[in-house]
């Protein structure tokens, strides 16, 4: 009889332990989308990290506590246990894409609740610029539209000068799945000629050639 009683007590203990673990677990789910098109992005690595206070000592390093990969609909779901959390960090990463990372207050995600958090990523495109100025007297001034999204390095207010009888090349990483605007000022003698155009960046690698 005592053996049966001890067995029941042990079973109750296990059930209570499992119940407590479940109540202390947080589940976060959401959708990963392309920031330019709004389309779902599959095969994105989503990771949740946590920084904690252990024995009164605060650590500002985030330790990974859960991860998942988005499905064909861009959906992901991650479950993890609470452990003296101060704040959380959620990040999304995929090869040839600009990822995302956000810091989350610990009170925002709660056990037993539907914690939803969507993330936006951007396709990475590389533009190879190739200029050839074969004119003996003209100077070309090339400039990308400074208001272009995700084109910080190349798309500023500065113009790139291509001198007479010279070739110039450079490259730039930008947000893909968009069309970028540019302008070329041709300066010769006392006159100028302004030419405008666009560059479609919908592939991983794009080459832009300008010959004059």
**pTM, two decimal places:** 0.79
pLDDT > 90: what percent of the chain?
Answer: 67
Kindly state whether residues 136 and 88 are assigned to the same domain: no
Q: How much is the average pLDDT of 42-68?
A: 87
In terms of pLDDT, which residue wins out, 15 or 63? 63
Domain boundary at 117, 134, 156, which?
A: 117
62: pLDDT strictly greater than 50: yes
Kindly state whether residues 96 and 43 are assigned to the same domain: yes
- Give every CB contact of residue 90 below 8 A, 6+ residues apart in sequence: 28, 46, 47, 48, 49, 101, 102, 104, 117, 119
pLDDT score recorded for residue 11:
46
Kindly state whether residues 146 and 100 are assigned to the same domain: no
pLDDT bracket for residue 9 (50, 70, 90) = low
pLDDT bracket for residue 162 (50, 70, 90) = very high
């Amino acid at each position: 009889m005592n053996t049966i009683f001890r067995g029941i007590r042990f079973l109750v203990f296990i059930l209570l332990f499992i119940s407590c673990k479940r109540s202390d677990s947080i589940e976060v789910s959401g959708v990963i989308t392309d920031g330019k098109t709004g389309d779902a992005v599959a095969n994105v690595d989503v990771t949740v990290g946590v920084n904690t206070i252990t024995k009164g000592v605060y650590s500002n390093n985030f330790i990974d506590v859960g991860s998942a990969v988005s499905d064909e609909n861009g959906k992901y779901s991650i479950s993890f246990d609470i452990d003296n959390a101060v704040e959380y960090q959620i990040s999304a990463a995929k090869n040839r894409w600009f990822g995302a990372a956000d810091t989350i207050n610990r009170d925002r995600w709660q056990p037993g609740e539907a914690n939803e958090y969507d993330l936006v990523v951007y396709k990475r495109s590389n533009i190879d610029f190739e200029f050839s100025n074969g004119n003996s007297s003209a100077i070309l001034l090339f400039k990308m539209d400074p208001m272009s999204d995700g084109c910080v390095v190349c798309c500023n207010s500065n113009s790139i000068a291509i001198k007479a009888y010279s070739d110039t090349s450079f490259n730039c990483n930008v947000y893909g799945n968009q069309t970028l605007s540019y302008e070329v000022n041709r300066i010769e003698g006392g006159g100028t000629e302004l030419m405008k155009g666009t560059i479609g960046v919908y592939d991983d690698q794009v080459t832009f050639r300008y010959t004059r």
